Amino acid sequence: MALRLYNTLTAKVEEFQPLHANQVRMYACGPTVYDYGHIGNFRTFIAVDLLYRFLRQSGLDVRYVMNITDVDDKIIRNSARDGVSVQRYTAKYEEAFLEDSAMLNIERPMLVRATEHIPAMADFIGKLVEKGVAYRTEDGSYYFRIAKFPGYGKLSKKDFAGMEDGARVDVDEYEKDSARDFALWKAPKPGEASWDTSIGSGRPGWHIECSVMSMEELGPSFDLHAGGEDLIFPHHENEIAQSEAMTGHPFARFWFHARFLLVEGEKMSKSLGNFFTPRDLILRGHKPSSIRWLLTSVPYRNQLNFTFDGLKSAASSVEKLRNFRFRLTSTQFPAGANPAMAELATETVTRMKSALEDDLNTAQAQAAVFDMARKANAAFDAGEVRKDDVVHLLSAMDKFDEVFAVLKDDDQSKIKSVLEWARAQGRENDISPELLEIAGSAQLSDEQVNQKIEAMSSARKGRDFKTSDALRAELITAGIIVENTKEGVRWRRK
Ligand code: AMP
Ligand code: ZN
């Protein structure tokens, strides 16, 4: 079986075959760095990260490029309002985006910045004018003439045939029914940033940046282009028009769109004010791994409704799997092998793979690993797991985590850095007691916890209960839960 993905361009689920054997070239529209990203944005970025990880796990060599939109209407407006340069304004949010991505275990793609490609964008627009598909207006702005591109509407499945030729729109984002000749380049306005280029002074529109940078890094035709569903129109429709009008070749073959994260039935968005950033949630005492789990728990092509209950149950899912993994690594099993365990592991790997190959059915892949944990836990309890089984079960867990990236217990250090950030920002009031409690458990490293537990056990063996009680109290204060089980002492962080 091979990977099958829904392609917005053909409106069908199709087998994904890269243009060049074994090499995938993909591009995702990245963040507009005018503010902190919210978890709706990160739902899309995580969906693409998951695709990227799965393609690599499937043996493909992937070149994955993402842009940073560090110039657009909002950025120009806000930097002018604050009286700072565009670069200064965006640097802070770009850094925040990178930190948040790392916190959510999003692997870093190759990043390209719009402001570093402005001469190339101007040259590209100049060539579109030579080809007769773009024109200059009196004020020095440039527009794409959509009537000259017969395929306009093929991605968003909109028929623009009856459109008034020459009607224009100069904002970067607009509604479907107001499809017009769109701005490629905007003439300078007093007090706003602009660049001097081969086509005059001004600044690029949002759409041109992705056409220019994606083709520069990946060639005129590449395998896959990704973004959230709101980018289908106008952004991606316009990217296709600009790129294909320029090269005469098909632009991206697959169009991958993640559906929205909703809050009470509405799109999570800055403009509606119904958003949470990853940092907001961490300040409320939630873990980065719970956020990542929640955002992948519903396949990318279904909308996902955000709730705090959902986030809590995500936390408990991650914890169950981590505990299962811990049980595997910390127990002394009797020698030998139980072939049923190796079979269970193999069957789980196959199930996960076929779920992900089925248009990235993340929910099914998660269900497969849970089934394995449940069955193996039952076998543990029945004393049916042997030493040689561990490697098989662990390897299935590792395969799962190569794609889902939630099992490594590194939440505490991430939480601590958010805590420090909040203090530096003077946001003490937003720091919840829950956060302080989990952050407390970060004060002891794994090694220190292990040492204390050993010291505690030997104190108890020597009947020095005072010392062992003191050590236990110290661990509890640090947010460490110590459990005495049949298989010995186990611990975990709160
Ligand atoms: P922006 O920074 O606004 O350019 O958006 C970055 C990415 O987040 C784009 O791919 C958007 O389509 C996506 N996005 C925005 N809001 C949501 C949402 N509520 N759910 C999922 N993706 C979203
Ligand atoms: Zn884009």
Among 44, 74, 239, name the best residue to mutate to test ligand 1's pocket (greatest count of ligand atoms within 8 A of Cβ): 44
Write the residue with the smallest CA distance to atom 17 of ligand 1. Answer: 40
Which helix or strand (DSSP H or E) is residue 295 part of?
helix 288-296
Write the residue with the smallest CA distance to atom 12 of ligand 1. Answer: 228
Bridge partner residues of 181 (DSSP): 168
Cα separation, 69 vs 90, whole angstroms: 9
DSSP 117: S
Nearest ligand to the C-alpha atom of residue 240: 2
Among 75, 224, 230, name the best residue to mutate to test ligand 1's pocket (greatest count of ligand atoms within 8 A of Cβ): 230
Residues with CB under 6 A from ligand 1: 29, 31-32, 40-41, 43-44, 227-228, 230-231, 258, 260-261, 267-269
Beta carbons of 72 and 121 less than 8 angstroms apart: no
Beta carbons of 187 and 219 less than 8 angstroms apart: no
Cα separation, 327 vs 372, whole angstroms: 14
The radius of gyration computed from the CA coordinates of the chain, to the nearest angstrom, equals 26
Residue indicated by tokens 């991430």: 414
Bridge partner residues of 481 (DSSP): 492
Cα separation, 226 vs 258, whole angstroms: 8
Beta carbons of 25 and 63 less than 8 angstroms apart: yes
Which helix or strand (DSSP H or E) is residue 290 part of?
helix 288-296
Beta carbons of 479 and 437 less than 8 angstroms apart: yes
The residues near 178 (Cβ < 8 Å, ≥ 6 apart) are 169
- Name the residue among 407, 409, 438 with its Cα closest to residue 284: 438
Among 33, 39, 41, name the best residue to mutate to test ligand 1's pocket (greatest count of ligand atoms within 8 A of Cβ): 41
Pair of tokens at residue 346:
């193999």
Pair of tokens at residue 217:
């890094």
Residue indicated by tokens 């709101």: 230
One-letter amino acid identity for 443?
A: Q
Taking the chain (494 residues) in consecutive chunks of 10 residues, what is each chunk's mean pLDDT? 94 97 97 97 98 98 98 92 94 98 98 98 98 96 94 89 75 74 94 94 96 98 98 97 98 98 95 96 97 98 97 96 93 95 98 98 98 97 96 98 96 92 93 84 76 86 86 81 77 78
Q: What are phi and psi of 174, to 5 degrees?
A: -155, 170
First to last CA, the chain: 41
The residues near 397 (Cβ < 8 Å, ≥ 6 apart) are 321, 324, 325, 328, 369, 407
Task: Give the Å distance between the CA of 258 and the centre of ligand 2.
Answer: 14
Task: Give the Å distance between the CA of 28 and the centre of ligand 2.
Answer: 7
DSSP string spanning 52-82?
HHHHHHTT-EEEEEEEEB--SHHHHHHHHHH
Write the residue with the smallest CA distance to atom 18 of ligand 1. Answer: 40
pTM for the predicted model, two decimal places: 0.91
Nearest ligand to the C-alpha atom of residue 100: 1
Task: Give the Å distance between the CA of 448 and the centre of ligand 1.
Answer: 41
Length of the chain: 494
DSSP 232: I
Is the previous residue joined to 234 through a cis bond, with omega within 30 degrees of 0? Answer: yes
CA angle 207, 213, 217 (to 5 degrees): 150
Beta carbons of 86 and 131 less than 8 angstroms apart: no
Q: Which residues of 52-80 are buried (b: 16+ CB within 10 A; e: fewer)?
A: bbbbbebebebbbbbbbbbbbbbbbeebb
Pair of tokens at residue 16:
């994904």
Sign (positive or negative) of CA dihedral 328, 312, 103, 429: negative
Q: Which atom of ligand 1 is nearest to the CA of 32?
A: 2
Residue indicated by tokens 């799109």: 267
